[in-house]
Structure 1
Amino acid sequence: MFNRFWSRFFSSESSDESTTSTKNSKPDDKNSGSETEMTETSNEIDFQLMPTGLKKLLNKVDLSHPPGLAGDICEDLATLEYRALPNLRPAAAMMILSSVARQIENPPYKLNLYVISTALTASGKEAHQNYLKQALMDLGLDSKLHDTPRSDKTIMFDLLYSEGCSIYVLDEGHVLFRTALSSRASTFEKNMADLLLQLKTAKQYRLSGNLKREVQEQLIARLEKADKKKSNTAFQPEDKEKLKNLLELTNECIYDPFVNLISYSVPQNVAFLFSKKEIETGLLGRIIFVRGPSKRAPLRGHDKVVRPSKDISERLKAISTENLPTESLAARTTLHTIKEYLECDENRNHGMYGAIFARGYEQIRVVATLLALESKEIDQSMVIYAFKQFLNSLHECETHLSTQSKTSIEESQKLVELKVREYSERHGSGSFGVIRNNIFKCSAPIRKLENNQKDFLSNTLQKFADLGVLIKVGNNQYLHKSCISAKKLNTAKKQST
């Protein structure tokens, strides 16, 4: 059921959507990546629970072309790409709209986004980054743009100096997460992940503990330095005044902190992010994942300046942020149906993806709202697009996790067989219990596996016996097959049968 669902709505898009792609799309626009083969496991998602009506609506959605202004931004970007990357265009469009939406007061959900866009190296990702940055600068947001942060203190300084709104457009942004999630990371590096998680959803944030002290100490040092260099034109009175205001702010609550983040990487460089642990921490449920095609598109010969067209720039500047978009009756009804599906017990308490399902409705509401910023009404097409984008992101998580699971099991079994063979060569035959205990004591990786998967070692040894890797040579005594001569091996096999 799992494979059939994904193949129906995602892997087959190259053929199903050829007539509904953007007017600037080329035959090389579509994702030709192959689908990862799945085995039936308890972690599988039962899509039979999804209402038929939703499935029919999903069939009509082209993920490379969202409705409204976002779709027009995608078309504009398509004319400026060095190589076609249709799947990644909406990510840039949504980041632009999200940055505009930062001015909306008191939305029910925070309208910021964390996005990870992946595509092959040298596939043209830089055009998307350039377009996105230029669009933000045209909107007067260049002071909000920041480089890759190196610590939680950097993130906080970025937020303070840009008046509560930070936007990160990161090339090879996986480095940020790899650093923050590394077991060897320093405390201030590890704290980056926790701080980003908090800022994604927090309606208010108050500095505390070591982070507060470190930020205040650095601000005080800068103030003292400014006082000593009064004659230096680099330190104008307004700079000192800003430093004083920032110092005061560290003792107050920061309301509606707004952090937008998009990272561009290659798929294999973000694989480490996908784990049950990061699902349970809430990291994967806060991120939208987008993947480009599995093959590079042909190089397009143009020397255009990569920046939004005058029409797109003017429409973005004309967006009113006084009020939230309203919902049409069809949109409201569809949202209710989606909510019931995501919040059914089987999904919200799913053994692997429950934490992602639990944040799904919020993510869908946010994306649908951003799509309607210009029109001021969320229609059904915007809701169902946001739903399919959520499912696509979930599919990316499942693809990585299932691949890792297969690789991990195969590598683990090879490691166990190696240890069994070493035991047989050194000690001769032994019972399952003796062999198991010896391997468990001598191999840290196997101890970790045994702790994560109950009875992994015992089950693997039994499997080896069933497959003839372990040969029974006496009363509950087993020996690795490589340690038995061909003649004795045949005799042992006959006795075992």
Structure 2
Amino acid sequence: MREHRKPAGLAGEICQHLNKTANRPIPLIYPIVALQMLSLAAGSRKGLDGIKLNLLTLAIAPSAAGKEHGQSWLAKTAAQLKIGRHVVGGISSDVDMIRNLIDGDGRCCYRIDEIQGLFNAIKSKNANTYESKIGDLILTLATSRVYLFAGNHRRQFLDEIDRDIERLKKRIAKAEESPADDSEESTEAAEVQDVDKLNRALRWLFKKRDFIENGWPDPVVSIMGHSTPSGLDSLITEENIGSGLIGRCLVIRCAEEREKLQKIEETPFFGEVNMLNRLHLINNGSLQPLAVSEEARQMLDAIQRYYDQDQRLNAPVMGAIYARVMEQVNKVASLLALEADQVQPEHVSYAFALVARCIDDVGYLLQKDAAQRADATIADIALHTRAEIKRRLAAGKVKVEGIAPSSLKQTVLKCFAKLKQLTVQHGKNPKAIGKPDLYDQIVNRMVEVGDIQLKQTGKKTRYFLTEGR
């Protein structure tokens, strides 16, 4: 299976570029930045089996960890490709989303930092009507084959576009009455005289009017959201999974540790130009559906059979996630294959690895939510503690160098209030003196079953994650 940080082709080169040019690299989230860029460049092109190539992605990482680098690069690159008008910085209301869809000719990518503010507004009992409607509209636009405007929205935007049509007709009439003067140097005057250009614009306005009146076909609306663990971890709940929101998102939960500042490498000028040219070719490329190799199709069928097994498809809570795995795998594989025009095994392999990682992160955060609830059981707390320990031992240098037992305990207790509370209570209980607290019991059991290892090198004692775990 391909490692989820190293996508194939152009996406991999984008990740490499972002790693080299970041003050504080955060490589785990660069693949979803690259995929969002490919989605934006693909426009209205369809993927495997006619699937829309829009993405909903959520990247969760500590504050000041470097999340803004990928966001800035996407906005800058979109501007260089002359598709920056399709990138929007936030959502203020449901009407704002619809207006952005119309202005962007059916394409829009929302680049939202601290996205928890949007979700908190959507979920709030005190939310204004225009805020509470945003959540449903996001799902509708992300999944609809045809977006049907509500009556009041249809009337509002038909009035506006009718006014635009009348203004443009007057410009065309004026241009036809006043033939262009060859000696005229004014750029503005030349534009007014370009009757062919104005007529093309008028035809497009009439087409948009038809879409508003009868339904907008295949809207391509993506969201690239970023936030911190304290801001977004709480979004992953049974309720939100049941609503369908999380199942349609690629969720990446980074480790708590920040990378050290690095000296930015000077990137070759022609390397950046090559990336831009390749994205430009995708943006102006064929709109034909992607082909798929026989081996890649067999791999996709195998993945579908695996996740369609009853114990996954109808699993409590997570069944809603497993049911949408193929949608996510197909989208990621299709985006990686845009240059080649055919989905290959390496595209499917990477797509499966990334989606599996996202499922793992959703499961971890769901477990965290259960463990932090007021009615959490000891079993809930123990399960989350095990998951937290494994993640700590799998992160960065700790995976290679290990971590001292005291440091691991201090780190885990610091981020898990309920476990810390039980540990403090244990220490105050005279009957518990000399007996292991809940944390120690969990760690000892993990060593017994081979999840983690305790190694001693000289005077140093360190915990390591067991290979393959």
Question: In the aligned structure 1, how far is the partner of 2:253 from the partner of 2:263?
Answer: 24
Deviations along 1:236-294, whole A, 9 cap, x unmatched? 99799688875554212111111111011112211232111211111011110112332
Describe how 1:86-165 pairs up with structure 2 within 5 A: 86-104=27-45, 108-165=50-107
Partner of 1:330: 295
Deviations along 1:199-239, whole A, 9 cap, x unmatched? 11111111023443454566679999999xxxxx9xx9979
Partner of 2:319: 354
8 Å Cα contact 1:328/1:378 also seen in 2? yes
Partner of 2:221: 259
Partner of 2:277: 314
Give 1:393 deviation, angstroms.
Answer: 1.3
Give 1:326 deviation, angstroms.
Answer: 2.2
Partner of 1:173: 115
Q: 2:108 corresponds to which letter in structure 1?
A: S
8 Å Cα contact 1:363/1:390 also seen in 2? yes
8 Å Cα contact 1:285/1:356 also seen in 2? yes
Describe how 1:271-290 pairs up with structure 2 within 5 A: 271-290=233-252
TM-aligned CA distance change 1:81 to 1:178, over 3 Å: same
Question: In the aligned structure 2, how far is the partner of 1:399 from the partner of 1:412?
Answer: 16
Moved more, 85-94 or 272-281: 272-281
Partner of 2:230: 268
Partner of 1:474: none
Question: In the aligned structure 2, how far is the partner of 1:324 from the partner of 1:225?
Answer: 38
TM-aligned CA distance change 1:151 to 1:219, over 3 Å: farther
Q: Does 1:403 align with 2:372?
A: no
Give 1:411 deviation, angstroms.
Answer: 6.8
Question: In the aligned structure 1, how far is the partner of 2:341 from the partner of 2:265?
Answer: 36
Deviations along 1:285-315, whole A, 9 cap, x unmatched? 1110112332111112349799981111111
Question: In the aligned structure 2, how far is the partner of 1:305 from the partner of 1:385?
Answer: 26
Question: In the aligned structure 2, how far is the partner of 1:332 from the partner of 1:224?
Answer: 51
Q: 1:129 corresponds to which letter in structure 2?
A: Q
Question: In the aligned structure 2, how far is the partner of 1:126 from the partner of 1:275?
Answer: 26
Question: In the aligned structure 2, how far is the partner of 1:383 from the partner of 1:329?
Answer: 12
Query: Percentage identity across aligned positions?
Result: 27
Q: Please point out which of 367, 378, 392 is paired with 2:357.
A: 392
**SS class of match (1:79):** helix
Give 1:401 deviation, angstroms.
Answer: 1.5
Describe how 1:70-85 pairs up with structure 2 within 5 A: 70-85=11-26
Give 1:381 deviation, angstroms.
Answer: 2.1
Question: In the aligned structure 2, how far is the partner of 1:376 from the partner of 1:226?
Answer: 39
Question: In the aligned structure 1, how far is the partner of 2:159 from the partner of 2:61?
Answer: 41
TM-aligned CA distance change 1:306 to 1:268, over 3 Å: farther
**SS class of match (1:62):** coil
**SS class of match (2:141):** helix
Give 1:105 deviation, angstroms.
Answer: 5.1
8 Å Cα contact 2:59/2:227 also seen in 1? yes
Q: Does 1:63 align with 2:63?
A: no
8 Å Cα contact 2:252/2:358 also seen in 1? yes
Deviations along 1:114-166, whole A, 9 cap, x unmatched? 10112111111111111111222222211111121111100000000111111
8 Å Cα contact 2:57/2:249 also seen in 1? yes
Question: In the aligned structure 1, how far is the partner of 2:248 from the partner of 2:299?
Answer: 22
8 Å Cα contact 1:130/1:306 also seen in 2? no
Give 1:102 deviation, angstroms.
Answer: 2.1
Deviations along 1:368-417, whole A, 9 cap, x unmatched? 0111111223222221211121121112211111111111145799xxxx
8 Å Cα contact 2:161/2:205 also seen in 1? yes
Give 1:174 deviation, angstroms.
Answer: 2.2
TM-aligned CA distance change 1:108 to 1:267, over 3 Å: same
Question: In the aligned structure 2, how far is the partner of 1:220 from the partner of 1:152?
Answer: 21
Describe how 1:197-216 pairs up with structure 2 within 5 A: 197-216=139-158
Q: 2:314 corresponds to which letter in structure 1?
A: N
Question: In the aligned structure 2, how far is the partner of 1:91 from the partner of 1:272?
Answer: 21
TM-score, length basis structure 2: 0.68
**SS class of match (1:251):** helix
8 Å Cα contact 1:111/1:370 also seen in 2? yes
Give 1:177 deviation, angstroms.
Answer: 1.8
Q: Does 1:294 align with 2:242?
A: no
**SS class of match (2:147):** strand
8 Å Cα contact 1:153/1:215 also seen in 2? no
Describe how 1:418-433 pairs up with structure 2 within 5 A: none
**SS class of match (1:261):** strand
Q: 2:281 corresponds to which letter in structure 1?
A: A
8 Å Cα contact 1:103/1:321 also seen in 2? no
**SS class of match (2:339):** coil
Question: In the aligned structure 1, how far is the partner of 2:368 from the partner of 2:252?
Answer: 17
Q: 1:372 corresponds to which letter in structure 2?
A: A
Question: In the aligned structure 1, how far is the partner of 2:231 from the partner of 2:26?
Answer: 19
Question: In the aligned structure 2, how far is the partner of 1:205 from the partner of 1:149?
Answer: 18
The unaligned stretches of length 5 or more in structure 1 are: 1-56, 228-232, 414-497
Q: 2:37 corresponds to which letter in structure 1?
A: I
Looking at CA atoms only, which structure, 1 or 2, has the larger radius of gyration?
1
> How large is the RMSD of aligned CA atoms in angstroms?
3.3
8 Å Cα contact 1:86/1:292 also seen in 2? no
Give 1:74 deviation, angstroms.
Answer: 0.8
**SS class of match (2:213):** coil
Partner of 1:371: 336
